[in-house]
Amino acid sequence: MQWIQKQFEDLTIQELYTILKERVDVFVVEQNCPYPEIDNYDQVSEHLYLLHKGEMVAYCRLLPHGTMYEEASIGRVLVNDKFRRQGYATDLMKKAVHVLTREWGETLVKLHAQSHLQHFYRQFGFKVTSDEYMDDGILHVDMLLNTKSEVGS
Protein backbone atom coordinates (compact mmCIF):
# COMPACT_ATOMS: atom_id res chain seq x y z
CA MET A 1 0.00 0.00 0.00
CA GLN A 2 1.25 3.44 -0.90
CA TRP A 3 -0.09 6.87 0.07
CA ILE A 4 0.12 9.49 -2.68
CA GLN A 5 -0.31 13.20 -1.97
CA LYS A 6 -0.07 15.59 -4.91
CA GLN A 7 -1.05 19.03 -6.04
CA PHE A 8 -3.21 19.12 -9.18
CA GLU A 9 -0.37 20.25 -11.45
CA ASP A 10 1.79 17.35 -10.25
CA LEU A 11 -0.74 14.65 -11.19
CA THR A 12 -0.01 12.65 -14.32
CA ILE A 13 -2.74 12.36 -16.93
CA GLN A 14 -3.29 8.75 -15.86
CA GLU A 15 -3.55 9.70 -12.17
CA LEU A 16 -6.07 12.44 -12.96
CA TYR A 17 -8.10 10.06 -15.14
CA THR A 18 -8.12 7.43 -12.37
CA ILE A 19 -9.23 9.98 -9.75
CA LEU A 20 -12.04 11.36 -11.91
CA LYS A 21 -13.21 7.90 -12.96
CA GLU A 22 -13.31 6.67 -9.35
CA ARG A 23 -15.23 9.76 -8.23
CA VAL A 24 -17.76 9.45 -11.06
CA ASP A 25 -18.15 5.70 -10.41
CA VAL A 26 -18.96 6.33 -6.74
CA PHE A 27 -20.75 9.67 -6.59
CA VAL A 28 -22.56 9.76 -9.94
CA VAL A 29 -23.10 6.12 -10.98
CA GLU A 30 -23.25 4.18 -7.70
CA GLN A 31 -25.24 6.85 -5.87
CA ASN A 32 -27.34 7.59 -8.96
CA CYS A 33 -26.71 11.29 -8.51
CA PRO A 34 -26.03 13.33 -11.62
CA TYR A 35 -24.21 16.48 -10.54
CA PRO A 36 -21.28 18.59 -11.80
CA GLU A 37 -18.37 16.41 -10.63
CA ILE A 38 -15.79 18.59 -12.39
CA ASP A 39 -16.23 21.78 -10.37
CA ASN A 40 -13.02 23.83 -10.76
CA TYR A 41 -11.81 23.06 -7.23
CA ASP A 42 -9.50 20.23 -8.23
CA GLN A 43 -6.95 22.74 -9.52
CA VAL A 44 -6.56 24.30 -6.05
CA SER A 45 -6.72 21.02 -4.15
CA GLU A 46 -4.19 18.57 -2.91
CA HIS A 47 -5.21 15.03 -3.86
CA LEU A 48 -4.66 12.29 -1.30
CA TYR A 49 -5.11 8.65 -2.17
CA LEU A 50 -4.06 5.13 -1.31
CA LEU A 51 -2.84 2.70 -3.97
CA HIS A 52 -2.59 -1.07 -3.79
CA LYS A 53 -0.95 -2.84 -6.72
CA GLY A 54 -1.77 0.11 -8.98
CA GLU A 55 -5.44 0.24 -7.97
CA MET A 56 -6.98 3.17 -6.12
CA VAL A 57 -8.22 2.04 -2.70
CA ALA A 58 -9.32 5.34 -1.14
CA TYR A 59 -9.30 9.01 -2.12
CA CYS A 60 -10.12 12.52 -0.93
CA ARG A 61 -9.23 16.02 -1.91
CA LEU A 62 -7.94 18.62 0.51
CA LEU A 63 -8.78 22.27 -0.01
CA PRO A 64 -6.97 25.15 1.67
CA HIS A 65 -8.96 27.70 3.65
CA GLY A 66 -10.38 30.50 1.54
CA THR A 67 -11.08 28.34 -1.51
CA MET A 68 -14.36 26.45 -1.30
CA TYR A 69 -15.05 27.58 2.28
CA GLU A 70 -13.57 30.02 4.74
CA GLU A 71 -12.13 26.94 6.49
CA ALA A 72 -9.90 24.27 5.00
CA SER A 73 -11.95 21.29 3.88
CA ILE A 74 -11.91 17.62 3.05
CA GLY A 75 -14.08 16.54 0.15
CA ARG A 76 -14.89 13.76 -2.28
CA VAL A 77 -14.10 11.14 0.37
CA LEU A 78 -14.44 7.66 -1.11
CA VAL A 79 -13.32 4.07 -0.85
CA ASN A 80 -13.37 1.82 -3.91
CA ASP A 81 -16.21 -0.70 -3.44
CA LYS A 82 -13.74 -3.63 -3.59
CA PHE A 83 -11.95 -2.29 -0.51
CA ARG A 84 -14.85 -1.23 1.71
CA ARG A 85 -15.37 -2.41 5.29
CA GLN A 86 -11.64 -2.99 5.75
CA GLY A 87 -10.79 0.20 7.65
CA TYR A 88 -9.49 2.23 4.72
CA ALA A 89 -12.00 5.06 5.19
CA THR A 90 -10.74 5.47 8.74
CA ASP A 91 -7.12 5.39 7.56
CA LEU A 92 -7.91 7.97 4.87
CA MET A 93 -9.61 10.36 7.29
CA LYS A 94 -6.80 10.06 9.85
CA LYS A 95 -4.27 10.83 7.13
CA ALA A 96 -6.33 13.74 5.74
CA VAL A 97 -6.83 15.33 9.16
CA HIS A 98 -3.12 14.87 9.89
CA VAL A 99 -2.12 16.59 6.64
CA LEU A 100 -4.45 19.54 7.20
CA THR A 101 -3.73 20.08 10.88
CA ARG A 102 -0.09 19.02 11.22
CA GLU A 103 1.42 19.74 7.80
CA TRP A 104 -0.72 22.72 6.78
CA GLY A 105 -1.30 24.08 10.29
CA GLU A 106 -5.05 24.42 9.81
CA THR A 107 -7.16 24.67 12.97
CA LEU A 108 -10.61 24.57 11.35
CA VAL A 109 -11.61 21.86 8.87
CA LYS A 110 -15.03 21.69 7.24
CA LEU A 111 -16.91 18.76 5.71
CA HIS A 112 -20.02 18.75 3.56
CA ALA A 113 -21.09 15.30 4.76
CA GLN A 114 -23.84 12.98 3.66
CA SER A 115 -26.12 12.79 6.70
CA HIS A 116 -25.88 9.03 7.11
CA LEU A 117 -22.10 9.37 7.55
CA GLN A 118 -22.07 11.98 10.31
CA HIS A 119 -21.45 9.32 12.99
CA PHE A 120 -18.38 8.17 11.05
CA TYR A 121 -16.95 11.71 10.90
CA ARG A 122 -17.65 12.36 14.59
CA GLN A 123 -14.96 9.82 15.56
CA PHE A 124 -12.37 12.24 14.15
CA GLY A 125 -13.71 15.19 16.16
CA PHE A 126 -16.08 16.70 13.59
CA LYS A 127 -19.27 18.27 14.95
CA VAL A 128 -22.48 18.98 13.05
CA THR A 129 -22.88 22.72 12.43
CA SER A 130 -26.04 22.82 10.32
CA ASP A 131 -29.48 21.34 10.02
CA GLU A 132 -29.90 18.60 7.45
CA TYR A 133 -30.41 19.86 3.92
CA MET A 134 -30.91 18.32 0.53
CA ASP A 135 -28.03 18.60 -1.94
CA ASP A 136 -28.26 16.85 -5.31
CA GLY A 137 -31.03 14.61 -3.94
CA ILE A 138 -29.03 13.41 -0.91
CA LEU A 139 -29.40 14.64 2.69
CA HIS A 140 -26.28 16.43 3.94
CA VAL A 141 -25.02 18.28 6.99
CA ASP A 142 -22.10 20.63 7.45
CA MET A 143 -19.52 19.47 9.97
CA LEU A 144 -16.55 21.25 11.51
CA LEU A 145 -13.39 20.07 13.22
CA ASN A 146 -11.93 22.71 15.52
CA THR A 147 -8.45 21.85 16.75
CA LYS A 148 -8.11 25.13 18.67
CA SER A 149 -8.39 24.90 22.42
CA GLU A 150 -12.04 24.80 23.30
CA VAL A 151 -11.45 26.08 26.83
CA GLY A 152 -14.16 28.55 27.71
CA SER A 153 -16.34 27.70 24.75
Question: Which residue ranges form the domains of the chain, and what is each CATH number?
Answer: 2-146 (3.40.630.30)
pLDDT over threshold 60, residue 1: yes
3-state per-residue secondary structure call for 85-153: CCCHHHHHHHHHHHHHHHHCCCCEEEEEEEHHHHHHHHCCCCEECCCCEEECCEEEEEEEEECCCCCCC
Q: What is the pTM of this model?
A: 0.92
- Using 50, 70 and 90 to split pLDDT, how confident is the model at 152? very low
Is 141 a residue whose pLDDT tops 50?
yes
At residue 150, the pLDDT reads: 47
- pLDDT of the residue at 33: 81
